[in-house]
Structure 1
Amino acid sequence: MTRSLTIDFYHDVVCVWCFNISSRMRRLVSECDLDIRHRTFVLQDSEQAMAERWGTPDQARETILGHWAACRRASDHPEDINIDGMRQAGFDYPHGMVAALACKAAELISGHTGHWDMFDRLQHAHITEARNIADRDVVAGFAASIGYDRAAFVTLLDDPETARRVEADRQHARRFQVYSIPTLIVRETGTRLVNGPVEDLRAQLSFALRLAEQREGAV
């Protein structure tokens, strides 16, 4: 690509479809000049919200793991989607708020690169390792494992500014009419990328680049 494209990437750590597309975008960033801006999009932010959306914990687990099965069939790395591990886990299927706060805490320290690294680490913990990412101690442990000072990170998790930034992402999503995830929007053109194989995403980015260059040339 001859110019940079800026992409807003809306995601939730508990979203297995986001797991698929994050690795694909990692590959494309290595090939193309892309500036990925990460936006938390929490599907359910509490145990109560989980119950309102999915019913009992057992109902939530089985319904969501049905989505995991569909996602695994479309995944580049199906072996990383550990359905049996999550089915046997000794905790209720987690909501995404604690993980979102962790991603924003990482962003406050290390920018969008830190956000993405934390997002991917927590997704791997959730989807591959069947860990409870709604548990603050678990999340703080993973933050420490990738180099953050644990005590300082926990302070940021509890900081109202971190929660404010999660809410700011929610408002940003509403402003751009984002209602589902994963959503990726090319800022220069307003193009929304459709999740699919890497070659499809690459073609979409090439189209968005040509459109951006045409608009730039018309100014």
Structure 2
Amino acid sequence: MQVEFFHDVICSFCFPMSYRMRKVAEKYPKLEIIHRSFALGWEKEQFIQQFGSHEAVKPEVIHHWENANQNDDEHRFNIEGMKEQDFLFPTSKNGLKAAKAAGMIADQDTYWAVFDGLQQALFVENRDISDLTVIEEVVKKTSIDFDDWKVQFDNPETEQAVMEDLQRVEAYGIQGAPAIVVNQKYLISGAQPQEVIEQTIEQIAEEEGFQLKGLTIMGTDAAACNMIDGKWVCD
């Protein structure tokens, strides 16, 4: 069962949602989780259009952090630390490209590692994750080959891949992040509680005829050796 996880590195509610989706992935390993880009502020021009100036973004967004921190199961946001920083609020572009590049040369788990590393750097460590130096430091903490990643990050096809995700956002009609799309037809919108995510996925799996756990037994029973109460019992 395919699960498309739409998120942005600067999205405060994506931080707790990613934490929960990791638990979902661990509980239901048969799910195919694909990470997709969602840009809240691709470049500073988008911030200016939305907020009137780039300088106006941080005070407004820090208020969002307070709500997201309440939503977060671990309440990890360092809000006071962010207030003390003097850099303008990061844009989405470089962080989304960084995570996409990781996924393109490795796999979705590596994408996730870079994505979560960038969010940790912003929301807990209060670092400017649009700064390439900061991004590179985050990438170097993962298992990815840095030189290969850097080549892919600079490759125009990486930005094109991000733009294709954004086109998918528009095609699906997704209005906000985080968002989960299952089998290209079911939408789970927002940072839902863990139990709601799991109940919804289980309901969809039942409707789709997808077995989330274990194996479907085919054919009839036949002679076999089994371990019962610590002893071999053979038919």
TM-score, structure 2 as length reference: 0.84
Distance 1:57 1:130 in 2: 17
2:224 equivalent to 1:199: no
Distance 1:181 1:156 in 2: 26
2:103 equivalent to 1:110: no
Match of 1:180 among 176, 179, 196: 176
Provide the identity percentage: 26
2:73 equivalent to 1:70: no
Distance 1:75 1:132 in 2: 21
Instruction: Give the conservation status (yes or no) of the 8 Å contact 1:141–1:150.
Output: no
1:35 aligns with: 32
Q: CA deviation at 1:101?
A: 0.3
| Of 7-16 and 146-155, the range deviating more from structure 2 | 146-155
Q: CA deviation at 1:56?
A: 3.2
Match of 2:121 among 122, 125, 143: 125
Distance 1:84 1:48 in 2: 27
Distance 1:97 1:144 in 2: 19
Distance 2:72 2:8 in 1: 17
Distance 1:106 1:71 in 2: 27
- Structure 1: which 5+ residue stretches go unaligned? 215-219
Instruction: Give the conservation status (yes or no) of the 8 Å contact 1:140–1:153.
Output: no
Do the aligned partners of residues 150 and 103 (structure 1) sit closer, same or farther apart at CA in structure 2, a change above 3 Å counting?
same
Q: CA deviation at 1:55?
A: 2.6
- What is the SS of the residue equivalent to 1:153? helix
Deviations 1:89-145 (A, max 9, x none): 121000111000001110111121111111111111111110111011210121112
Deviations 1:28-56 (A, max 9, x none): 11111211111011111112222221233
2:93 aligns with: 97
TM-score, structure 1 as length reference: 0.90
- What is the SS of the residue equivalent to 2:209? helix
- Counterpart residue identity of residue 150, structure 2: V
Larger CA Rg, structure 1 vs 2: 2
Deviations 1:120-173 (A, max 9, x none): 111111111101110112101211121334343232222101111011111111
Q: CA deviation at 1:11?
A: 0.5
CA RMSD in angstroms comes to 1.5
Greater fraction of residues in helix? 1
1:217 aligns with: none
Runs of 4+ in 1 over 4 A off after TM superposition: none
- Counterpart residue identity of residue 60, structure 1: V
2:57 equivalent to 1:60: yes
Q: For this pair of structures, how many residues does the alignment match?
A: 208
Q: CA deviation at 1:60?
A: 0.9
Distance 2:90 2:78 in 1: 15
2:41 aligns with: 44
